[in-house]
């Protein structure tokens, strides 16, 4: 089962379409209104626990002897997934426990397709989570690391949206609350104004398309399903912490990676991750734990990270530099490792670093891009070197990071003449224009350039940059 192993951020350069998700509409709301968002009046997590009875129901608790106990007590036919009623989900969950590798693999792909369709989550998704967690915790089940990765995908979708800083759960919850209290008619008026303010006809058509797709109730249902799925996985955090002690390094690494997306559980998770930083732990396991601890703001672990940074293991030096930069520790030793990794990343080993789908060069580059340029003016060169060495979908996060670093947020309308750009902007545009056909052939890459007002055809971009 490996259905979530590919793809990039749900957003401008996603290799999987963003299917009118609530997360998309949160971005639209921000773009249209420019309003701040307040915190919700009541904890959403408590409401989800009541709704799905994740904590209280014995039938849905984690039981290693019978991980699917209570499966038939859920009225699956009344729940929806991507293709309608979710009545096929129980058999797919049972197939994950099969002795047949083919059956397990087929079931995994089906679940990635129906309860996690191109990053979207549905009403049925959260109901499947307790059974997935129970399967992951049952020693007799095979491919348990893959099940943990499915849980991670269910929680956050594609992790590019949250790197390099981690999940802003307060902002996420506040955005949902804003959607709940929004007046649909007022939102339509804001959309109309947004369309009217487009800088040119091309931008107007794009905005008009988003306006035509707007359905407040559907966006809200989608957004609540995504947050409900996240909180359903959050309720399994105690099980995921237990899996850090599993004898299988693949399961340890999968659990360490997944735990990093739940900052509200950091108080209990950070001590558990610390246990994986002891001598003798497999490097890939420790690397995932280090990065997750950084995402959870594990400042108390900075001395441990510094010890790894000064050590001889290239993978642990890399993971520690990523974590330290996330914690705003950006001295020369940290930058040296990140700059090197942006050009020549360390050789990954099993279990792999899961963040950014194992794109170590891209992760180093977007981490560099998040560091304040005024403090460290040397960083752009390493970022552009990393971009030039990237290709295909692996180049997308790096390209976006570079564009945002030199131009700021996406813009409406074309850029000014090339001669009027700053020197860093000119260097970035030239590097993008000289990317190979294996990158330029992707519509995602061209859309990304268009978002910053750059020509979306390579010949035109090269002419704009003065290369032809």
- CB burial string 434-457: b at 16+ within 10 A, e below: ebeeebbebebbbebbbbbbbbbe
pLDDT band at 137 (very low <50, low <70, confident <90, very high): very high
- β-pairing verdict for 80-81 and 84-85: antiparallel
pTM of the model: 0.85
Summarize the confidence of residues 153-173 as an average pLDDT. Answer: 95
pLDDT tens for residues 229-272?
A: 999 999 999 999 999 999 999 999 999 999 999 999 999 999 99
Residue 1 structure tokens: 């089962």
C-alpha 108/C-alpha 143 separation (Å) is 10
Count helices and strands (H / E) in the chain.
Answer: 24, 4
User: Does residue 2 surpass a pLDDT of 60?
Assistant: no
Q: Is the pLDDT of residue 415 over 70?
A: yes
Instruction: For residue 458, give both structure tokens.
Output: 């390579």
Instruction: State CA 129 to chain mean position distance.
Output: 18
pLDDT at 98: 96
> Cα 202 vs. chain centroid, distance in angstroms?
29
In the chain, % of residues over pLDDT 90: 70
pLDDT tens string 279-331: 999 999 999 999 999 999 999 999 999 999 999 999 999 999 999 999 999 99
Residue 33's pLDDT is 45
């Amino acid at each position: 089962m490996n259905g979530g192993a590919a793809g990039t951020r749900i957003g401008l350069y996603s290799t999987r379409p963003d299917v009118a998700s609530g997360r998309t509409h949160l971005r639209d709301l921000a773009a249209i209104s420019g309003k701040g968002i307040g915190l919700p009046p009541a904890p959403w997590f408590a409401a989800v626990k009541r709704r799905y009875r994740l904590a209280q129901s014995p039938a849905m608790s984690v039981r290693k002897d019978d991980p699917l106990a209570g499966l038939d007590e859920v009225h699956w036919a009344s729940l929806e997934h991507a293709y309608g009623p979710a009545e096929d989900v129980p058999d797919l969950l049972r197939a994950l426990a099969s002795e047949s590798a083919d059956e397990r693999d087929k079931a995994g792909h089906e679940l990635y397709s129906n309860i996690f369709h191109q990053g979207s989550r549905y009403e049925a998704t959260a109901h499947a989570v307790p059974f997935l967690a129970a399967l992951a915790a049952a020693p007799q089940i095979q491919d348990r690391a893959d099940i943990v990765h499915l849980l991670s995908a269910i929680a956050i979708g594609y992790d590019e949206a949250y790197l390099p800083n981690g999940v802003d759960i307060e902002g996420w919850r506040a955005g949902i609350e804003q959607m709940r209290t929004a007046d649909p008619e007022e939102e339509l008026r804001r959309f109309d104004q947004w369309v009217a303010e487009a800088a040119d006809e091309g931008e107007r058509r794009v905005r008009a398309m988003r306006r035509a797709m707007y359905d407040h109730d559907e966006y809200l249902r989608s957004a609540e399903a995504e947050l409900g799925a996240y909180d359903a996985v959050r309720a399994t955090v105690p099980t995921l912490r237990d899996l850090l002690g599993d004898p299988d390094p693949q399961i340890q690494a999968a659990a360490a990676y997944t735990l990093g997306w739940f900052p509200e559980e950091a108080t209990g998770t950070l001590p558990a991750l610390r246990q994986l930083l002891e001598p003798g732990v497999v490097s890939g396991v420790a690397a995932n734990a280090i990065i997750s601890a950084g995402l959870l703001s594990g400042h108390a672990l900075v001395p441990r990270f510094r010890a790894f940074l000064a050590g001889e293991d290239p993978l642990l030096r890399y993971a520690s530099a990523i974590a330290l930069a996330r914690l705003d520790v950006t001295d020369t030793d940290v930058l040296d490792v990140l700059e090197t990794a942006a050009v020549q990343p360390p050789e990954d080993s099993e279990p792999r670093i899961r963040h950014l789908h194992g794109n170590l060069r891209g992760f180093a580059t977007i981490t560099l891009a998040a560091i304040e340029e005024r403090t460290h003016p040397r960083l752009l060169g390493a970022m552009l070197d990393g971009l030039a060495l990237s290709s295909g979908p692996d180049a997308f996060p790096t390209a976006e990071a570079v564009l945002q670093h030199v131009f700021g947020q996406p813009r409406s309308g074309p850029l000014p003449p090339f001669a009027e750009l700053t020197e860093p902007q000119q260097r970035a545009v030239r590097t993008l224009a000289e990317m190979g056909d294996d990158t330029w052939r992707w519509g995602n890459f061209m859309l990304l350039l268009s978002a910053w007002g750059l020509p979306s055809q390579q010949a035109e971009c090269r002419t704009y940059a003065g290369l032809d």
